[in-house]
Amino acid sequence: MVTFDHGAAALVPLAVAGPIVVACILLVAGRSVPRLAVDVTAIAAALAEAGLLAYLLSSAAGGRLVTWVAGWTPHHGYSVGIVLVVDPLGAGIALLAACLTAIALLFSTRYFESIEAHYHALILLFLSGMVGLSLTADLFNMFVFFELMGAAAYGLTAVQIEDESALQGGLNFGIVNSLGAYISLTGLGFLFARTGSVGLPQLQTGLAHHRPDALVIAAFVLVLTGFLVKGALVPFHFWLADAHAVAPAPVCVLFSGVMVPLGIYAAFRIYWAVFAPVLPLGDVRRTFLVLGALTAVVGSIMSLTQRHFKRMLAYSTIAHAGLFVVALACLSVAGTAGALLYVAGHAGVKGALFLIAGVMLSRYGSVDELALYGAGRGQKAMGWLLVAGALALAGLPPFGTALGKAVAEDAGSAAGYGWVPVLFVAVSALTAGAILRVAARVYWGLGPKPVEWSQARSSGNVGEPETRLQRLPVTMVIAIGTLLVGALVMGLLPGLHSVANRAAASFTDSAGYANQALHNVHELVAAPVTPNWTGLGLGLGFLSAGCACLVAVAGLYGSRLVKFLPGLRAFRSPIDLLHRLHSGHVGDYVAFMMVGIAALAAFVGLPLR
Amino acid sequence: MSHYAYFVAGWLIVIGALGIVRSRNLVQAIVCLAVAQSGTYVLLLSVGYQWGAAPPLFSEPATKPTLHVVDPLVQAMTLTDIVVSATVTSMLLAIAIQIHKRTGSIDPDELDALRG
């Protein structure tokens, strides 16, 4: 019998259950109290959750917190109980989710004129699912939290039921994600058949010392499918643009900021905690590098060629999710640390950009870049915020995104992939250049007045906004400002890189994870102490920001450029084809998902024959 | 005989997914999703099933648990799975009803608000 010390670890289940309890109270009492009370309660609950998670993070900093729910502790390394393992990386992502939830709720106070307490309850349930997914070490539990998160997210996407496209987006999102979850569950069935357990540490010991046979590879591919759908990797990504384009702006903050990274987090958590000792490293690394790079390229091309601003941001999230995967796919401490920093910085910046899109929708009733040409000339302040957000997304030092990119680029080169920094700079420049182009058109009226209307693509005239705002409420400004300042401060915190290194070292330590969960053995792995910024990282950051400005100028004056270089027209038909593939048809999305599963299985399995 | 159950599970998942791909009706697509999920119930239950084994019920603390019981863990998981299915299916059907109210159609081929 192993004894597990309590203290902070006893509070871990509370972090999952707390938001659910508050959500239930809001659902029951929400009708009989004023809207302000509902808003304040929900924000207070999110802040309290953030406080609790910060405490757990600081307690887990020296190792991991292990909780066997209801005291089902393991005997000789075996238990049928559910185990929660809090390591710094998991707690950090959960903390990010709680902070973003508080900001999204703050923004919502004035964004929705008439919304009932069920919106707040759904947001808190969503938070609970995200926290649960980051803290659990049980595969079936992951599936349940995935679906809790999913059901809340489908509801939040379609919360404005008067909007036809919001309903379609919510439905596509729901069907594709749930099917992905069931495919993951099938993989879990395979793993249970082999090992008789579903806890990640038990699965690791159960699978060790065997050759990776067909069952293990099938289980790996199937289990990962659901999480890769959530993480929006090509070709599992189609639902994301639909859902993000139509969901309310504050909900998009949570979707892009944490939900999508959480899918990737879960995929790599499962890899490190279960499959790392079994599957050959080079095989997995190659698979994820290809997947990530493909996602980054498709996402940035689609983002650059959008005129619907929220859809543009959605594809930009896909592109950056591809970069997260490329960083994690180095399968090293440095790459994981880079991805962690990048996810945190990206969450702040992309959140701010989505909120600015929400402000545009509230003020002008549209997010269509072409229709809004020059519409924002009177509101230059918001324009400057948009420019700041775009440059931060490009990785202008000292924003946190730049720090994450620099660390990840360095890790890519160190792993022997010289193309990684090139990909990072190109994707950053393309996605940020598209946003700078929007800012220049809408807030400064630069470039020729647009006349071309392509029917093959979504315009931004979706749905009527909740309210037409005449003045900008202070809560919205605070929410946008907090996110941008947060991303800026992140890059300036001294020693943050070393903290991320320690979190990544603990995350990638497969044996230590299983030993501590099953045998209560604490072993701290050493992590390198590195300075935040290097000259090369700073230089690449400034280069990306500069290239983004060039991309924006080329986008504004592109029609004139084509007159001089008619060869550019050749690119039009492949890009149109790419757009036609994103058909908005749920059947097509599922078909691509099946193709993706087959491709993934071939990639992982064939080299092992 | 025991392989037959795995075959049924795989068949349900694949035919459910294929049904969503080919569907011309959103309600049918959502039911196909539920069919695919039924495959996971069959898979989980057949993983833990043993021929000739007793149900996993231990009423008296004194009785030694016999070795021949079916696995209770997968049954608990299947129950949870069914609850999840009920939540998700009802949520999606509610959205489908709203789509019909707004557009008068539930044919995914006719819904084209989201392209490119």
pLDDT digits (tens, 9 = 90+) for A201-243: 999 998 987 788 899 999 999 999 999 999 999 899 999 998 9
Token pair listed for B110: 């006719």
Q: How many other CB atoms sit within 10 Å of the CB of residue A3?
A: 7
Answer yes or no: is pLDDT of A19 > 80. yes
Among A17-21, A61-65, A364-368, A516-520, the range of highest mean pLDDT = A17-21
Q: Which residues of A touch B30 (CB under 8 A)?
A: 175
> Any residues with CB less than 8 A from the CB of A37 and at least 6 apart, and which?
none
Answer yes or no: is pLDDT of A464 > 50. no
Phi/psi for A136 (5° steps) reads -85, 155
pLDDT for A386 equals 94
Phi/psi for A483 (5° steps) reads -65, -45
Answer yes or no: is pLDDT of A455 > 70. no
Q: What is the mean pLDDT of residues A78-88?
A: 87
Per the CB < 8 Å rule, is B115 touching A456?
yes
pLDDT for B93 equals 94
Q: Which of A13-22, A264-273, A387-396, A448-457 has the lowest mean pLDDT?
A: A448-457
pLDDT for A154 equals 92
- State the Cα–Cα distance between residues A21 and A5, nearest whole angstrom: 26
pLDDT for A543 equals 94
Answer yes or no: is pLDDT of A77 > 80. no
Respond yes or no on whether the N-terminal peptide bond of residue A235 is cis (omega within 30° of 0): yes
**Any idea what DSSP says for residue A365?**
S
Token pair listed for B19: 């049904």
Ramachandran sector of residue A509 (left: φ over 0; alpha: ψ -120 to 50; beta: rest): beta
**Four-point Cα dihedral A283, A287, A288, A289, nearest 10:** 100
CA angle at residue A561 from A557 to A565, to 5 degrees? 170
Per the CB < 8 Å rule, is A179 touching B36?
yes
B66 at the A interface (CB within 8 A)?
no
Per DSSP, the residues of B11-33 read HHHHHHHHHHHH-SSHHHHHHHH
Q: Match 């501590």 to its residue by tokens.
A: A516
Q: In whole numbers, what is the pLDDT of chain A averaged over residues?
A: 89
B103 at the A interface (CB within 8 A)?
yes
CA angle at residue A597 from A593 to A599, to 5 degrees? 110
Q: What is the mean pLDDT of residues A326-335?
A: 94
- State the Cα–Cα distance between residues A559 and B70, nearest whole angstrom: 69
* pTM: predicted TM-score of the whole model, two decimal places: 0.93
Asked if A78 and A201 touch (Cβ cutoff 8 Å), the reply is: no
pLDDT for A2 equals 45
pLDDT for A276 equals 93
List, for residues A368-422, the tens digit of each pLDDT value.
888 888 888 888 889 999 999 999 999 998 899 999 999 999 999 999 999 999 9
Q: How many other CB atoms sit within 10 Å of the CB of residue A44?
A: 13
Q: A486 or A7, which is more confident? A: A486
pLDDT for A575 equals 86
- State the Cα–Cα distance between residues B82 and A470, nearest whole angstrom: 48
pLDDT for A484 equals 95
Q: Which residues of A touch B91 (CB under 8 A)?
A: 151, 154-155, 174
pLDDT for A557 equals 86
Q: What is the mean pLDDT of residues A158-186?
A: 90
List, for residues A251-281, the tens digit of each pLDDT value.
999 999 999 999 999 999 999 999 999 998 9
Give CA A522 to chain center in angstroms. Answer: 31
pLDDT for A284 equals 92
- State the Cα–Cα distance between residues A397 and A545, nearest whole angstrom: 9
Q: Which of A22-31, A344-353, A515-524 has the lowest mean pLDDT?
A: A515-524
Q: What is the mean pLDDT of residues B105-116?
A: 75
pLDDT for A285 equals 94
Among A147, A193, A594, the residue with its CB nearest the CB of B88 is A147
- State the Cα–Cα distance between residues A364 and A380, nearest whole angstrom: 15
> Any residues with CB less than 8 A from the CB of A130 and at least 6 apart, and which?
A94, A97, A145, A149, A254, A258, A259, A262
Token pair listed for B11: 């068949």
- State the Cα–Cα distance between residues A562 and A556, nearest whole angstrom: 12
User: Which residues of chain A from 418 to 477 reach within 8 Å of chain B, CB to CB?
Assistant: 456-458, 462
The CA distance from B41 to the nearest CA of chain A, in Å, is 9
Burial of residue B104 (number of CB atoms within 10 Å: 0-12, 13-18, 19+): exposed
Pick from A103, A97, A99: nearest CA to A131: A97
Q: Is B69 helix (H, G, I), strand (E, B) or coil?
A: strand
- State the Cα–Cα distance between residues A44 and A394, nearest whole angstrom: 33
List, for residues A574-608, the tens digit of each pLDDT value.
888 888 888 888 899 999 999 999 999 999 988 88
Among A161, A168, A593, the residue with its CB nearest the CB of B114 is A168
pLDDT for A460 equals 54
List, for residues A540-561, the tens digit of each pLDDT value.
999 999 999 999 998 888 777 7
Mutate to test the interface with B, among A171, A184, A311, A583 (most CBs of B within 10 A): A171
Q: Burial code of B65-83, b = ≥16 C-beta within 10 A, e = fewer?
A: eeeeebbebbbebbebbee
- Among chain A residues, the shortest Cα distance to B108 is held by A585
Q: Any alpha helices (H) in A493-534, and if so which ranges?
A: 496-507, 510-519
- State the Cα–Cα distance between residues B72 and B15, nearest whole angstrom: 28
Q: Which residues of B touch A140 (CB under 8 A)?
A: 77, 80
Token pair listed for A171: 């439905």
Q: Is A136 helix (H, G, I), strand (E, B) or coil?
A: strand
Asked if A314 and A245 touch (Cβ cutoff 8 Å), the reply is: yes
B67 at the A interface (CB within 8 A)?
no
What proportion of chain A, given as a percentage, has pLDDT over 90? 63
Ramachandran sector of residue A453 (left: φ over 0; alpha: ψ -120 to 50; beta: rest): beta
B80 at the A interface (CB within 8 A)?
yes
Phi/psi for A232 (5° steps) reads 60, 50
Write down the ipTM of this complex. Answer: 0.93
Q: What is the mean pLDDT of residues A564-571?
A: 73
Token pair listed for A372: 């809004």
Q: Between A281-304 and A572-581, two packed helices, what is the crossing angle to 10 degrees?
A: 110
Q: What is the mean pLDDT of residues A345-355?
A: 95
pLDDT for A349 equals 96
Q: What is the mean pLDDT of residues B43-59?
A: 82
- Among chain B residues, the shortest Cα distance to A591 is held by B21
Q: Which residues of B touch A80 (CB under 8 A)?
A: 73
B38 at the A interface (CB within 8 A)?
no
Q: One-letter amino acid identity for A30?
A: G
Q: How many other CB atoms sit within 10 Å of the CB of residue A177?
A: 26
Q: B105 or A463, which is more confident? A: B105
Q: Which of A28-42, A179-193, A523-537 has the lowest mean pLDDT?
A: A523-537
Q: Per-residue confidence at A523, pLDDT binned at 50, 70, 90? A: confident
